[in-house]
Each structure stands twice: as C-alpha cells, then as structure tokens.
Structure 1
Amino acid sequence: MRSHCRRLMAVPALLCALTLLVARPAGAIGDGDDTGDLGLSARVVRLYEDAARATERYERGRQEAEGQRAQAQRIEGLLDRERREIGVLREDLGRIARAQYRTSGGMPLTAQLILASSPEQLMRGQHVFSQTNLAVGNAIEKSRRAETQLIKDEAKAAAAWRRLERRNAELAELKSGIEQKLDEARWQLQGEADASVAAGSCPGAVRIEQKQKEFTSAWVTPVESYELSAGFGSGGSRWANRHTGQDFAVPIGTPVRAAGDGRVVKVSCAGAFGMEVVVQHTDGYYTQYAHLASVTVDQGERVDTGQWIGQSGTTGNSTGPHLHFEVRITAELGSAVDPVPWLSERGVPLG
C-alpha cells in the first residue's frame, strides 16, 4: 500500500506544476497602443515589431500548451490509477465483510456463548472478530480518503485545463488585435502613397528610426523576409515587353533596404513604377526599388548596406503588394540585368 500512497501523492504535485505554468501572466506583448504620436510610416514599422513579438509570444504559449497537454495527460493517467485503486479498496472491503460473516462475525454474542466448545474458543472468536472490525474500519477510512482526494484532484485538473484554454484565447485575441491595427495602418499608408502618385509629386523623405544592425557582407537582399514572385524576363499583359526585375512578395509597409553601399540618384513618385528609388553603387551598377508606399531617403543622399530607403507598397502599375527590384547598368530603364545571378555573385543567393 505504500507504493499506492506514493502514486497518489504524485497527482497533487503534478497538478501544482501545471497550475503554475498556466497561471503565468500573458504580459504586454508590445509597448501598448502608444503609436498615436508617431508618423504613419513609423507607426506601421512599430506595429510590425509589435506583431512579430505577439506572434513569437503566441508561438511560445502554443509550445507551452503542448507541454502542459502532455503533463495533463499524465495527470489523467494517474487519476485513472487512483480510480482503479479505489476499486481495489472497495473489493477488499467486500472481501473482509464476507470473511467476517463466514467466521461468525455477524453472529450474536449469546449464540457464540452457546455454540462455543470452550472458553478458549470463545476468546479466539472474539479476538478474530475484533481484528476483523479493525480491518474493516481501516479499509473504510482508506477508501474514504482516496475518494476525497480523487474528487479534489479531478477538480484541480479541470480548473487547470480551463485556465490553459483561457490563457491561449487571450494570447490569440491580443495577436489578432495587433494584426488588425497593422492592416488598417498599412492600407492608410498605401492610400496616402496613391494620392501622392496621382498628384505626381513626392511628399519628401519620411525619416524612420532604424535599429543598428551589423552586416557581415557588403550586399544583402532588398527585403529581409519575402516570397519570390515574378522573375526577370517573365512575360505577361502587365509589361510592354518582358519583366525587367525580380519581384519580392511582401506586405505593404515592409522596410525596404539598400542592397549595398551607394548614393541615391533618383526619387520619383509618378509613372508605371509608382514611388521608386534608384541607388548607384560603388561598383558602377544601379539598383531600383519600385511600387513603394513611402520613401525614407532624399535624392543625393548616401546610403549604407541594409539601410532602410523606403517601405513596400503597391503604387503605380501593380496588381498587389510587392517590391519590384531591378539591377541596371545605367540609371535608366532598358539597361536591366537579371538580379538573381547578380546577387548570387555577391554572396546573396535568393531562396
């Protein structure tokens, strides 16, 4: 029975551990809704950061939930064992009661006196009767304690599951709220960009504070995370001849960065490319960044590798949010080369 006790004591300990895990506060994912005083471009960047943190926190919560689920399943196994042990205790109680009846434990004392062949036999019978009563009492008390503990453990397990589900729901709701704010801000930014392109004039560089980041190579991709869409030389009704660059499918407001060191030779907000920036690099090549929603540099400005020069959008002749990235021999349209091998030669493979 000592081993039974050890197993029964393990259930409350596991329940306590599970309770501590699910009771951890969700905490603030971002810095709160403090973006009201920021410009729209900076607000979009801040919301991107908040959304990234929210997603990271949500994923951590989901992984914790999987671990807690395994722990809770282990607790369920121990609860099942408790139930089986209670069944054994009840069987023992029944067996003791039956044995007591067979050994005249239920016979009146007068009848025992008449039927006893000697005082010694009567005393032995009374001793057995006393021992049996003690065993019955112990069995009843043990069964009662086990059933009481089982009820408590089942209630704790159910409460832990409810807390876990509530915490995950809160994380999901917080993540969804930030993403909704981000989506609204992105399209507001795009609306302002469309108005500027329609007017044919750029609103000027929007300065966005960028965290310092050390790059190990002289060249980088123009956006940090992306999906490749239309490639160089693609055909279609959207282009007069062939596609002259590599498209990176990214959401509106994604920071666009200079592929390498250079100088901004063109900032334009009209025509088929919508808002665009052209950078001349130290090796003589030019890179173009088109269909932007905002520009964060001025013409003539020097830029470093990885420096933000704008935010992606869908201005100009564009069917959806993306960055059109082009590599040219000159600053003008018509001198483009395939950006994919060009970047690969510089240690930046696309994938």
Structure 2
Amino acid sequence: MRLTRRRPLLVAVLFCALAVLAARPADGDGSHAPGHGSPSVSAEVARLYEEAAKATEQYEAGREEAEKQRDLAQRLEERLDRERQQAAVLREDLGRIASSQYRDGGGLPLTAHMLLADDPEQLMRGQRVVQHVEVTLDQALGRSERAEARLARDEAKAAAAWKKLEQRNEELAALKQDIEGKLESARWKLQGEADASVAAGSCRGAVRLDQPPAQYTTSWVAPVETYELSASYGSGGARWANRHTGQDFAVPIGTPVRAVGSGTVVRVSCGGAFGIEIVVEHPGGYYTQYAHLAAVAVDQGERVSPGQWIGQSGTSGNSTGPHLHFEVRVTPETGSSVDPVAWLAGRGVTL
C-alpha cells in the first residue's frame, strides 16, 4: 500500500505517550455489554502509558543533556589542539636557547671572561648577558611547564567528558528500548481487548481518555493530530468489494482519535468488517465514521466537541495493519460516503 505524505509523521513514542488512560468503565446503553473486558487489564494499560510518558520526558531531557555534553567535549578537544600547538612552539624556543648557550660555551666561560676583564664596563656587560640568558631560559621553562600541566589537565577533562557522554548515550539507548517495549506491550494489550470485543460482537464500557485541555480556534480539525495518509477515497484493491469508501490514516495502535467537529455520537459498535467503530452526527446532515479502533472513549448519545478524544486507533475488524479508517457520509449507514478529504478541505482542514 503506497503512502502519500501529507504531514510529517513524528516518532510514535512521542504522541502515543500522550494517551494517558484513566480507565473507567462507563454506564453502557444497548450497544455496550456490561462487564465485558477486564478492568485490571485496562488499569495495566493506563499504568504502562503513564510510565511511557514519564520515560519519554526523561529521554528528551537526557538527549538534550547529551547534546550539551557533546558540545563541551568538542570545545575541550579544540582547546587541546591549540594548547598542543603552543607547547610545540615553546619546545622549539627552548631548543633554540639551548643551542645558543651551547655555541657560546655556556655560563662558565662567560664567568671566566668576566673575571679576566680589563675594565668594569666589560664586566657589567658580561653580567647582563648572563642574567638575560638565565631569565629568558627560566621564563621559557616556566611557560613550557605550565603549558604541559594545563595540557595534561585538559586532556583528562576531555577524556572524562567523552566517557561521560558515552555512558549517557548507553543509558539513553536502554531508556529508549524500555519505552518502546512498554508502549508495544500497552498497545497490544489494548488491541487484545478490542479483538475480544469484536469477537463477542459487543463493546465494553467506554474507557475515558484523560486528555489535556485544548483550545481550538476552528470548528473543524483532522481526526488524528499526526499521521501519514495511506489508502485514499475511491482507490481500488482486493480488500474492498467496490472502491475504498474513506480515507485511511496510518497511525500506531493507541493513537488518540478526535471528533472532527461538534456533534452527537449515534453509534458505537463492535464487530463486522469495521471492527470497533464510532459514528458521529454533525449539524447540516453529515455523519463521520471512525473505524478499526482499539478502544472507545464515548458512549452512544453523548455530545462531542471539535478535537475531543473519542477513541484510540487500532487494527480491529477487516484491517491489514494499525490505522484509522475515516469516512464522511450523508446517512449513518455505509454506502452513502463522500470524499472526506474534499469535505474537510471545504471546512478549512487541509490533510
């Protein structure tokens, strides 16, 4: 199935971790089988999502720290290169001074010359020569010793910085692996409940999503926040009797599914080709369908607002992989669909 890129797909960890479930079986209506589904499993899924959310925060903080540590280590390496060059220059200076002393015969011949001098002025000139040579040599030796000591300290700092960075990267890799494992476990536990509901042909009570407060300035939104578009409306394929009746959004299991606009939930059903599905009636006579879900977060008859989380995506029913099947219809029933991309575009939502 060819994917058509419309909006960048973020790392699955980041937006799945946002779906922190506060599992609460709702009072069902005729379409909900009371007691179906295990509250303990729902609680475990909620706990796993909470842990994944916390681990994601730690991973992001650690990744930023690792970047800072990398910058520090690189700066130390650059300073070390400069200090090595300076130390090499000082060694050359010491070599030239030593060679000059050797050619002049060293300090002892100069002293002998001063003792044999015929006048005080010649003696003073000889003394100044000796003092100048000694001072120059002492200064050069001091600079060289300080540079070597500084170089040794900075080399130790750089080595420690790189070691710390390496250890931090190993910790981050383990943390990321732990995040992915917990999310994968949570997703498939959630999907297992969905499959059980579909097999029974009845939905368990709504599992409420503890969604963060969101302010939408528009009356219409996309059904999922981050996605890639897959099978489009009207496309052909062996999976459909005629043509594809909706727009598919490729998203991982557990992704929050949003009501695209205000309306009333007129159907929550489990079973059949669509698996777990929700149908919402909107003002103006249109209906939207959200299918192949892993969980529902609303009850039949409930009012919903734009952007409200009404369920979680999955791969229930006749589905070849995790995705959301989204339809726009002129009746609640299948067979009355219109192009959902064009319909949303007419309401200011570009996919």
TM over 0.5: yes
Looking at structure 2, the residues matched to 299 and 221 of structure 1 have their Cα atoms a distance apart, in angstroms, of: 21
Give the structure 2 partner of residue 216 of structure 1: 217
% identical aligned pairs? 63
1:230-309 counterparts in 2 under 5 A? 230-309=231-310
Q: 1:181 offset after TM fit, Å?
A: 0.3
Letter aligned with residue 193 of structure 1: A
1:164 aligns with 2:165: yes
Sort the Cα spacing of 1:102 and 1:259 in 2 relative to 1 into closer, same or farther, 3 A: same
From the superposition, tell whether residues 55 and 140 of structure 1 become closer, same or farther in structure 2 (CA, over 3 Å). Answer: closer
- The answer to whether the 8 A contact 2:268-2:299 is kept is yes
C-alpha displacement of 1:167:
2.4
Q: Contact 2:49–2:186 (CA<8 Å) still a contact in 1?
A: no
Q: Are residues 1:46 and 2:47 paired?
A: no
SS at 1:212 equivalent: coil
Say if 2:114 and 2:127, in contact at 8 Å, map to a contact too: no
- Please state whether the residue corresponding to 2:208 is helix, strand or coil: coil
> Could you tell which deviates more after superposition, 36-45 or 74-83?
36-45
- Go from structure 1 to structure 2 and tell me whether the alpha carbon gap of 1:151 and 1:45 turns closer, same or farther (over 3 Å shift): closer
Q: Kindly tell me: are residues 114 and 61 of structure 1, through their superposed partners in 2, closer, same or farther at Cα, counting changes over 3 Å? A: closer
- Measured after TM superposition, the shift of residue 265 of structure 1 is 1.0
Q: Which moves more between the two structures, 124-133 or 340-349?
A: 124-133
Greater shift in the superposed pair: 338-347 or 106-115: 106-115
The 3-state SS of whatever aligns with 2:273 is: coil
Q: CA deviation at 1:77?
A: 3.1
- Opposite residue 270 of structure 2, the aligned amino acid is C
Q: 1:186 to 1:300 in 2, by over 3 A?
A: same
Once residues 273 and 113 of structure 1 are traced to their aligned partners in structure 2, the CA distance between those partners, rounded to angstroms, is: 110
Task: Tell me if 1:100 matches 2:101.
Answer: yes
- Aligned ranges for residues 76-95 of structure 1 at < 5 Å? 76-95=77-96
Q: For structure 1, which segment, 46-55 or 296-305, has the greater mean C-alpha deviation from structure 2 after superposition?
A: 46-55
Q: How far 1:154 sits from its partner (Å)?
A: 1.2
| Structure 1: gaps (5+ residues) | 1-28
Give the structure 2 partner of residue 3 of structure 1: none
C-alpha change, 1:271 and 1:86, in structure 2 (3 Å) is same
Task: Indicate if the aligned counterparts of 1:51 and 1:179 stay in contact, CA closer than 8 A.
Answer: no
| Contact 1:54–1:175, Cα closer than 8 Å, also in 2 | no
Change (3 A) 1:342 1:317: same
Matched residue SS, 1:207: strand
Relative to structure 1, the CA distance from residue 54 to residue 336 in structure 2 (aligned partners, 3 Å threshold; closer, same or farther) is farther
Paired amino acid for 2:214: K
Q: Secondary structure at the match of 1:98?
A: helix
- What's the secondary structure of 1:273's corresponding residue? coil
Aligned to 1:10: none
Instruction: Give 1:205's aligned residue.
Output: 206
Counterpart-to-counterpart distance in 2, 1:103 and 1:60: 61
For the residue of structure 2 that corresponds to 1:140, the secondary structure is helix
User: Following the alignment from structure 2 to structure 1, what is the Cα–Cα distance between the partners of residues 125 and 105?
Assistant: 12
Quote the Cα distance in structure 1 between the aligned partners of 2:141 and 2:167: 39
Return the alpha-carbon distance in structure 2 between the equivalents of residues 46 and 346 of structure 1: 35
Write the mapping of 1:54-73 to structure 2, written as runs, cut at 5 A.
54=58, 56-57=60-61, 60-61=64-65, 63-64=67-68, 68-69=70-71, 72-73=73-74
Q: CA RMSD in A?
A: 2.8
Partner amino acid, structure 2, of 1:300:
G
Whether the 8 Å contact between 1:275 and 1:290 is mirrored in structure 2 is yes
Scaled by the length of structure 1, the TM-score of the pair is 0.81
Q: How far 1:51 sits from its partner (Å)? A: 6.0
1:251 maps to amino acid: P
Q: 1:247 to 1:109 in 2, by over 3 A?
A: closer
